[in-house]
Amino acid sequence: MKIAVCIKRVPDTEARIKIGADGKSIDDNGVKFVLNPYDEFAIEEALQLKEKAGDGEVVAIAMGTDGSQETIRTALAMGADRGVLLQTDVVAVNPVTVAKALAAELDGAGYDLVLFGKLAVDDDSQAVGTIVSELLGLPSVSAIGHLDITDGKGTAEREIEGGVEVVEFSLPAVLTAEKGLNEPRYPALRGIMMAKKKPLEVKPVEVSDEGIAVVELALPAERPEGRIVGEGPDAVPALIEALRMEAKVL
């Protein structure tokens, strides 16, 4: 089983976000970058599928600046076999731009499965994986919480409002991983050592991001300072009063 996993380098979810001098992007200074949390589920699923199949290859592909090499090493330390960096300094605003570069790398490479995270926690688009499936003309299921693959056919489950959709598909296919799909492993020391020797190919790519541009990036409006209505159960009537009379939500 040959599986590609597309991964992204993103600010740590704990990171404080400051706006950069251009007013259109964040100030990277002092920001810790990590492997996108949802991509960990994608890597774990790929590794488990390969282990179950008994043979195969897991390739981690990231598009981004040189800094993404570190992110790819994390995937290699978890157990991916090799990495590809599609190197560019362009930070695309349109998810279709990213999808095109990834699709060009994936097309014709003979992958049985291409896995993505559901969403990248920086641009929060939840789009790239599904767009790639359209560009490649492959079936896809997004935000899956459960996967079963037998005899070249797959069944995936995805959460929707008030239920779970069950989707059947044929391989090759594209899937995007939701939290809960599995428990991602931590890279062991041995894995980290081995990762240093695994192949990581760097390919410069040309991208043009058109039709959409950032006018302004700003911090969200602070919520107006709220108030503590009181302490303990005796504060309940004051809370109800406030919810009825001030907030008018009851």
Partner 1 sequence: MANVLAVLEQRGGALKQVSHEVLTAARTLADAAGGTVDAIVLGPGGVDVSGAGGYGADRVIVVESDDLSLYQPEPYAAAIVAQTQSGDYAAVVLAATAMGKDLAPRVAGRLDCPLAADVTALEWNDGPVASRPLYSGKAIAKLQLTASPCVISVRPNVFNPVENARDGTEQKAAPSETELRARTVEIKEPEKARLDVAEAPIVVSGGRGLKEAENFKLVEELADALGNAAVGASRAVVDAGWRSHAEQVGQTGKTVSPQLYVAVGISGAIQHLAGMRTSKVIVAINKDSDAPIFKVSDYGIVGDLFEVVPRLTQEIKNLRGG
Ligand X SMILES: Cc1cc2nc3c(=O)[nH]c(=O)nc-3n(C[C@H](O)[C@H](O)[C@H](O)COP(=O)(O)OP(=O)(O)OC[C@H]3O[C@@H](n4cnc5c(N)ncnc54)[C@H](O)[C@@H]3O)c2cc1C
Q: Which residues bind to ligand X, rule: CB under 6 A?
A: 13, 37
Would you say 185 or 242 has its CB closer to ligand AMP?
185
Half-sphere exposure (CA, 13 Å, Cβ side) for 20? Answer: 11
- Give 234's contacts (C-beta < 8 A, 6+ positions apart): none
Binding mask 112-151 for ligand AMP (x = CB under 6 A): ----xx-xx--x-xxxxx----------------------
Which of ligand AMP, partner 1, ligand X, none has residue 64 at its interface (CB below 5 to 8 Å by kind)? ligand AMP
Size (the chain), residues = 250
By the 8 A CB rule, do 184 and 44 touch?
yes
Q: Under DSSP, is residue 204 helix (H, G, I), strand (E, B) or coil?
A: strand
In the complex, the smallest distance separating the C-beta of residue 66 from ligand AMP, rounded to whole angstroms, is 13
Neighbours of 23 (CB within 10 A): 11
63 forms bridges with which residues in the sheet?
86
Would you say 19 or 192 has its CB closer to partner 1?
19
Would you say 37 or 139 has its CB closer to ligand X?
37
Q: Which residue among 28, 70, 107, 134 contacts partner 1 (CB under 8 A)?
A: 134
Q: Which residue among 55, 150, 227, 245 contacts partner 1 (CB under 8 A)?
A: 227
Q: Is 231 in the site for partner 1 (CB under 8 A)?
A: yes
Residues between 97 and 116 with contacts to partner 1, criterion CB under 8 A = 99
Half-sphere exposure (CA, 13 Å, Cβ side) for 139? Answer: 14
Would you say 48 or 229 has its CB closer to ligand AMP?
48
Q: Is 28 in the site for partner 1 (CB under 8 A)?
A: no
- Between vectors from CA 190 to CA 86 and to CA 51, what angle results, nearest 5°? 70
Q: Which residue among 179, 194, 200, 205 contacts partner 1 (CB under 8 A)?
A: 179
- Between vectors from CA 48 to CA 46 and to CA 52, what angle results, nearest 5°? 120
Give the C-alpha distances (Å, rounded to integers) separating 61 from 71, 81, 116, 210, 212.
10, 11, 10, 23, 25
In the complex, the smallest distance separating the C-beta of residue 62 from ligand AMP, rounded to whole angstroms, is 5
Q: Is 151 in the site for partner 1 (CB under 8 A)?
A: no
In the complex, the smallest distance separating the C-beta of residue 196 from ligand X, rounded to whole angstroms, is 26
In the complex, the smallest distance separating the C-beta of residue 245 from ligand AMP, rounded to whole angstroms, is 42
- CA-nearest of 118, 17, 10 to 64 is 10
192: phi > 0 → left, psi -120 to 50 → alpha, else beta; which?
Answer: alpha
Residues between 4 and 63 with contacts to ligand AMP, criterion CB under 6 A = 6-8, 36, 38-39, 62-63
State the residues that interact with ligand AMP by CB under 6 A. Answer: 6-8, 36, 38-39, 62-64, 95, 98, 102, 116-117, 119-120, 123, 125-129
